[in-house]
Structure 1
Amino acid sequence: MSDLSIDIKISKVSESKIQSVDFNNLTFGKVFTDHMFVCNFVDGAWQTPEIKPYQPLTIDPSARVFHYGQAVFEGMKAFKDADDQIWLFRPEDNFNRINKSSHRMAIPEFPKAYFFEGLTQLLRMESDWIQKGKGNSLYIRPFVIATEPAISASPSNSYKFMIICSPAQSYYAGEVKVLFAEQFSRAADGGVGYAKAAGNYGAQFYPTSLAHAKGYQQIIWTDANTHEYLEEAGTMNIFFRVGDTLLTAPTSDRILDGITRKSVIQLAEDNGITVEVRRVSVAEIKEAAKNGSLKEIFGAGTAAVINPIAGFEHAGDAFELPKLENSYASFFKEKLMNIQYNLSEDPHGWRYGV
């Protein structure tokens, strides 16, 4: 992308902290790069963006984000190929989604030129933090918070849009087993389930902790009305392979329009794999597990790309999934990562050079 005529104030660190980072032993989301992007919304307009040293914020205790949860975020990754070129994967989808999330939370939408020029400049400055090698990446977290110091229950008049970055290794969660939700819900009709609102994730932590206590790593949420239909997991959209057909729930105002999800559906169609985007019932999947036609369950999301699921439990019934030599999960992960790391053709134009 060519440079845009956007005025961004830039302040650089006097010395990088990169030498103190062990890139072979990274805990996901714990280490952050030298700089961050910041832009404030004041007096009805987004102000001049800044890139400055990563540092704590000074924020009033009465800032509305603390009291009414006006906060949305995105998750993205930057990749570096063998020639040191930096790539993003479908960033326009992330930009559109954070503004869709903002709109639902009564937060002013962020200008596209500010987003792309700010992100481009930030990634160029942090290029050394993006390690080469398949599996290595720079996780990118754009987010917006309400900053007006006022505790009356109404939308904020001021906001802070930020982008912070964290180096990441290949994500391996170990063997993942899940519970199908019977009581708790992630989202309801007419709610904010389709938005990446901070509260959606905070509300999941307690039910998920109950699942952990039973030896399960995640929950696959069911619909709030009947708990009969499977929707998505905590940080991933979910796919089921029954026979050779891939099933996944349709997006709605309860389900996040996942970018990895959309990519998997397209890659399946490209490679002659039948995909059915429809409601998937708990009873259907349990029956498929009993009769042997359920071959795989896997999650799709930015952090893990594709995360295979080894087994599930519902209403006291536990099921193990077969270990497959040539799984759909491994096939899609390979296809996606080859595009992300500029190792294969990109027929849909998903790759974005920085």
Structure 2
Amino acid sequence: MSIEQRLAPVALPENRQRQIVERLLSGSGVSLNGPDPWDICVRHPDLFRRVLNQGSLGLGEAYMEGWWDCERIDEMIHRLLKHGLGERAHTFGERIAYRLQAGVINLQSRRRAEVVGKVHYDFGNDLFTRMLDPTLCYSCGYWKGLPIAPENLEQAQQAKLDLACRKLGLTPGMRVLDIGCGWGSFAAYAARHYGVEVVGITISAEQAALAREHCHGLPVEILLKDYRDEQFRHEVGTFDAIVSIGMFEHVGHKNYATYFTRVAQLLRPGGRFVLHTIGSNLSDISADPWVNRYIFPNGVLPSASQLIQASEHHLIMEDWQNFGADYDPTLMAWRANLDARWHELADTYTTRDKRMFEYYLGACAGAFRARQLQLWQVVFTHGNPGRYDAPR
């Protein structure tokens, strides 16, 4: 970063700040006040100062406050990331502060783990039921062989749930643990279609309440528990299979070893474990400041090497599938659902809330489209005695 860029927020006039931003955008295909749907429409004269001073946090907050607009945030972010502006969008101070904090503090300790539940997952069941499809899956769908369209979201989610069930080799009468069960999507599907008994655990009170409704009448028990709860481990015993879909992103690098130790303790010998998680291309302890503040507090994405190192003394890794490209249409379908049904929520939520979700869904779709983020389903076994062939 040049001296001019460091001084821009405090010392340079507005026109010079604008020139710096335009130079950063040059070659990305994104323009200021341009004609394309991915161009940035500036609504506030202090936008340039804020973005140069606060990086991605300032960009996201400025959108929430109406300082700029963009019809296709997903494509804007995609183009900026492909242009190499991802890491440069984080200020030096942001990166250092987070790494120091994450290095000293366990950001995902049992006490702090409830923060993400209260901030995001407890945001409002009425909002999430309108944004998601009837399965209530809040994770990447599996779009293999499906036309990419919002109306096919439910099929993509059912395909993802069925894929996990088949990888686990579920048969009637099995006992299954769902770590981070969300609103009960996997538990309901597995119990209904494979005849298994499921225990689901979550740290979100709102999720637990809706999950119990979603699984009513099925052999499913939903518990408000942390996976590290020692009493819970002794009460429930072991399981024939374990699944964790979209929860590992909240575990944190300081807890990876504890997590896999607990899975190994809860999984019977010969049992299977399917881990479904967003993954990072780099082994870096970092988080986007805006996402960390407004969407998933204290979340950290694992890298492939971190997963391998944390699991190698506990389980056998049998299969690794990456369908990260499928998260792009999943996020865009959620955005389409939210747009179509926001009128039902307008009396409960603010315009700022709506813009927060618009930015979150669009930015994440752009990141997956740029292949900056991945989605992995990893199959582990606990001392599997024979060959394992993973379904696709």
Please report the TM-score for the alignment, with normalisation by the length of structure 1. Answer: 0.31
More helix, by proportion:
2
